[in-house]
Each structure stands twice: as C-alpha cells, then as structure tokens.
C-alpha cells in the first residue's frame, strides 16, 4: 500500500473512533418559563438566542457527528450556564434581570452575539439593526436609561 492510502485509512479510523467518544449530553430539560416580553422581542430571542441560551435547543445533524457534536454540545452547555431564557426571569432578581438585558444589548452591539461561527451556519440568526434598536428600546423601557 502507498503512503497516501495508509494516511487515508488512518484518518478514516480516527474519524470512526471519534464517534465513540460521547459529547456532553444533548438534552432539553423542560422549559419552566416564557420570558415576559412583547412578541417581537421574543421572536428575536427565539431566532437568534434560544438554540444556545434556552432549554429549547434545535440540535442540527452535525451535533450528532464528532467533532461537531463535541463543539455544539459544549457551546450549548456553556451558554445555558451563563444565561438561560428557559429559567429567566424567575431565577433572578430585578437587578440581575436588567443586567442581563443590558449585557445582551452590549454583546449584540459589539457583534459578539450570536457568535460568528453560529451566524455562518445560521444566517437567519443575525440580529439586524432594527432588531437591535427594538431590544434596546425594550431594555430602556424595562430598566431605564443607561441601556
């Protein structure tokens, strides 16, 4: 056998063996609340945030194939631990609620959320300028200036 064939066989074996190593569990615990927000705000959150920041994740096909499964499950686990729409706002005080709202606006404004790698695979998740303005106005209404 040639060296190229051996390399391909080796890479194929590694790819098959990678499927055996399980990612963090891909689970969607029951959602305990729906965020109290106008329908247009919930639409933005559902379309741009819920796949990572809620218990209503839509697990795409590549979340079942290593190494994508490791990355997606890890990202969702990390995102839910930072902020989870399925538990917010009942799990936080009003001060923390406003902190989260302001932080969302800040991260969107900097182009950090949704992350670029997510937007590349899900272009419809991009938050438009109009969406950002709507979220900013909602946050200001709820929390006052400084948003």
Q: For 63-102, how does the pLDDT look when each residue is reduced to its tens digit (9 = 90+)? A: 888 888 889 999 999 999 999 999 887 767 788 889 999 9
Instruction: Give the pLDDT score at 94.
Output: 82
Taking the alpha carbons of 70, 52, 107, 117 in that order, is the dihedral positive or negative?
A: positive
Q: What is the percent of the chain with per-residue pLDDT over 90, rounded to a whole number? A: 59
Q: For 122-144, how does the pLDDT look when each residue is reduced to its tens digit (9 = 90+)? A: 999 999 999 999 999 999 999 98
pTM: 0.81
């Amino acid at each position: 056998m040639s060296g190229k064939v051996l390399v391909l066989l080796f890479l194929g074996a590694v790819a098959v063996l990678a499927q055996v190593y399980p990612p963090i569990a891909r689970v969607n615990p029951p959602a305990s609340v729906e965020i109290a927000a106008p329908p247009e705000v919930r639409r933005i959150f559902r379309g741009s945030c819920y796949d990572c920041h809620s218990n209503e994740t839509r697990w795409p096909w590549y979340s079942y194939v290593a190494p994508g499964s490791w990355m997606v499950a890890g990202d969702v686990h990390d995102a839910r631990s930072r902020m989870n729409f399925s538990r917010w706002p009942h799990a936080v005080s009003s001060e923390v609620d406003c902190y989260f709202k302001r932080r969302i606006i800040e991260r969107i404004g900097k182009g950090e959320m949704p992350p670029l790698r997510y937007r590349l695979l899900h272009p419809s998740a991009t938050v438009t300028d109009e969406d950002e303005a709507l979220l900013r106005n909602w946050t200001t209404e709820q929390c006052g200036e400084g948003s």
